[in-house]
Chains A and B, each alone.
Chain A
Amino acid sequence: MKTIYKVPSAITSSDTTYCPGCTHGVAHRIVAELLDEMGLTKKTVIVWPVGCSVFGYFFIGTDALIAAHGRACAMATGIKRVHPESFVMTYQGDGDLASIGIAETVHAAARGENITTVFINNGNYGMTGGQMAPTTLIGQVTTTTPYGRKPELNGFPLHVPEMLATMDGPAYIARGALDNPQHITQAKKFIRKAFTAQQKRLGYSLVELVSTCPTNWKMTPVESIERVKREVLPIFPLGEFRAVKGVE
């Protein structure tokens, strides 16, 4: 028998504690696969966020830090500037990266900081019970938009890759999704390019991963992936938004 797929060694033996069907675990796994495949695991520092994935350091076995909410890109900048030979990545949710952390994210990108961000977009603040996030869709019901998000009250969702791709600092910006095997495979390719951008010191790299939150969307895991296809991907299209020479 030939092994086609095997859980990578960068994944620890701790059972993942995310909700059933939450795609954080898929994101963790493809990141871990790449760290192993690209020989990066022992050089890597991951800056974890405040959010459901604050516990991520239990599951991916690298040197790890937890940043204050939103500050991961600033913390990663501090590490990478003084220790450029380390492989430094942040893993952040939508509230962390695009709400409280938007300044730190934009400026790390603007500076072309040689760090990589994996950005989990599940359209709400999961850890705290499902409040509106910058990526919540118009009409989407959350615990702080019980009547559905209304543009006249709460404005419009942020398209982070599209925004960052207008800047010169980023080397690679993409959006993938974790709702089906094809997208997961594509998302892993995007993250590989992002990691390559850091290895080649080409600038900032970010991959947004459209993800599910069955608990706060009040759906089953299967209904959640169907919602991604039906409602989320038309608003947040997949693809590569910026890729400089060396990572195309």
Chain B
Amino acid sequence: MDLKVIVNEERCKSCGLCVNICPKHVLRISDKINSKGYYPVELFDNENCISCGFCYLVCPDMAIAEVKKPEFVK
């Protein structure tokens, strides 16, 4: 399945607000380092993400670039 949360790693400042607010705990600060020296967030459990968009709402840096929801054909 496609990623439900698209992270723009270069914009992330590891503030942790999205990790803190995520109701399903599917986000975490990664081990990667971006060009500014921050550890960007990553969506490590795509399956359990409910596409609520809380991460997008609280992110102050546009690092959560997009939130998507799977559409199921009936």
Question: Do A and B share a direct contact in the complex (Cβ within 8 angstroms)?
Answer: yes
**Interface: A1 (CB within 8 A):** yes
In the assembly, what is the distance between CA of A180 and CA of B36, in Å?
A: 26
Q: Could you tell me if A25 and B20 are in contact, using CB atoms closer than 8 angstroms?
A: no
Map CB proximity to A onto B21-47 as digits: 1 under 8 Å, 0 otherwise. 100000000000000101000000000
In the assembly, what is the distance between CA of A3 and CA of B52, in Å?
A: 11
Choose among B13, B59, B64, B71 the residue with the greatest number of A CB atoms under 10 Å from its CB: B13
Q: Could you tell me if A3 and B66 are in contact, using CB atoms closer than 8 angstroms?
A: yes
Map CB proximity to B onto A100-138 as digits: 1 under 8 Å, 0 otherwise. 000000000000000000000000000000000000000
Interface positions of A from 1 to 32, Cβ below 8 Å from B = 1-7, 11, 15-16, 18, 20-26, 29
Q: Could you tell me if B62 and A6 are in contact, using CB atoms closer than 8 angstroms?
A: no
The interface on chain B, measured as residues whose beta carbon lies within 8 A of the other chain's beta carbons, has a size of: 32
In the assembly, what is the distance between CA of A23 and CA of B59, in Å?
A: 8
In the assembly, what is the distance between CA of A11 and CA of B56, in Å?
A: 14
Q: Could you tell me if B14 and A20 are in contact, using CB atoms closer than 8 angstroms?
A: yes
CB neighbours of B54 from chain A (8 A):
181
- Minimal beta-carbon separation of B74 from chain A (angstroms): 14
Q: Could you tell me if A221 and B66 are in contact, using CB atoms closer than 8 angstroms?
A: no
**Interface: A235 (CB within 8 A):** no
A1-B61 in contact given A15-B10, A20-B15, A181-B21 (Cβ < 8 Å):
no
CB neighbours of A3 from chain B (8 A):
66-68
- Minimal beta-carbon separation of B41 from chain A (angstroms): 12
- Other-chain residue from B13, B15, B17, B56 in contact with A5 (beta carbon distance below 8 A): B56
Q: Could you tell me if B71 and A220 are in contact, using CB atoms closer than 8 angstroms?
A: no
CB neighbours of A23 from chain B (8 A):
60
CB neighbours of B69 from chain A (8 A):
1-2, 4
CB neighbours of B59 from chain A (8 A):
25-26
CB neighbours of B11 from chain A (8 A):
15-16
Interface residues, chain A, CB within 8 Å of chain B? 1-7, 11, 15-16, 18, 20-26, 29, 180-181, 184-185, 214, 220-222, 225
Q: When A and B form their complex, which 9 residue pairs have the shortest distance between CB atoms, in order from nearest?
A: A25-B60, A20-B13, A21-B15, A20-B15, A1-B68, A5-B56, A221-B15, A181-B57, A5-B67
Interface residues, chain B, CB within 8 Å of chain A? 2, 4, 10-11, 13-17, 20-21, 36, 38, 51-54, 56-62, 64-71
